[in-house]
Amino acid sequence: MSERSSSSNSNVDTAASSESPRLKKVTILTTGTRGDIQPFVAIGIALKRKGYRVRILTHPSPTHTKLCEDFGLEHVPFGNDAEAYMKTDKEARPAMETGNTIKFFGCLAKLIQDSTLSTCQPFCEEIIQGKQRPDLLIVSFLNRFFGFYAKHVLHIQTIEIKLQHWVFDDPSRAPMGMPTLPFGWHRLIHTHLMIPQDYRGFQSFDNCIATILDSSSKTNDGTPKIATQLPTMDDFLLYDQWHDSEVKHSPLLP
């Protein structure tokens, strides 16, 4: 092979390596119905075509599993089967059928609370303790706590993609089917119901993760292993900080 040919191939190899992504592993964390995760599957497809390894943590429902597998994306079960819950729960289904938004969101809060362990366990196994720690984590609006945790505790680059419209500033119209109240009082739904409820959910996730990590830090006979003490939520997200972020629309994640 001539020097020119060798040099040419070397340049091609260098160019190819320079175009390959620095961040090799991307994890997408999203929950909800098919309409909630489908845009994230599209993002996963685009990333995979660029050479990234993409894993999607989402509900274990047949619909979610098939959607990921049909497009060659690795699916990791995360949380409970939300679709089955919406179809079978005696309170959630009537709330949807009658348009009772407040009741429906109360049902969602119950679903999240009941699925705390099935949500936190795969997060710990996949991202904290396992070999699948991503170079980049993409989280949906409904899973932003795990984005906060990944960014501030695990120091993983994290992006939040917000597809839902949750702005309560318009006094003449409440978002997402919420009741519109006189004088813009529907803002109280946000500040006195949704923000505190979200924060309580964050605390439940944080406590559950701490319990899982504490349990895994002990041997079979209960003797503690040597383990690094990770920060708690009080170290990276206070209630006032969360409240101000929501009210002033100042995102805590890029």
| Position 88 confidence tier, pLDDT thresholds 50, 70, 90 | confident
Give the torsion sign (CA, 186, 187, 193, 195).
positive
Q: Could you tell me if 196 and 176 are in contact, meaning their C-beta atoms sit under 8 angstroms apart? A: no
Q: Could you tell me if 232 and 206 are in contact, meaning their C-beta atoms sit under 8 angstroms apart? A: yes
pLDDT for residue 2: 43
Two tokens at 53?
Answer: 């390894």
Environment class of 30 (CB within 10 Å of its CB; exposed 0-12, middle 13-18, buried 19+): buried
Strongest mean pLDDT among 33-37, 103-107, 137-141: 137-141
pLDDT for residue 227: 47
* Alpha-carbon gap, residue 22 to 24, rounded angstroms: 6
Higher model confidence: residue 79 or residue 184? 79
Q: Is pLDDT above 70 for 84?
A: yes
* Alpha-carbon gap, residue 159 to 243, rounded angstroms: 20
| Position 231 confidence tier, pLDDT thresholds 50, 70, 90 | confident
Instruction: Supply the pTM of this predicted model.
Output: 0.82
Question: Which stretches does DSSP call E strand in the chain?
Answer: 25-29, 53-58, 74-77, 136-140, 157-161
Higher model confidence: residue 86 or residue 126? 126
pLDDT for residue 209: 95
Least confident range of 175-184, 204-213, 219-228, 238-247: 219-228
Neighbours of 99 (CB within 10 A): 10
Residue type, 250: S
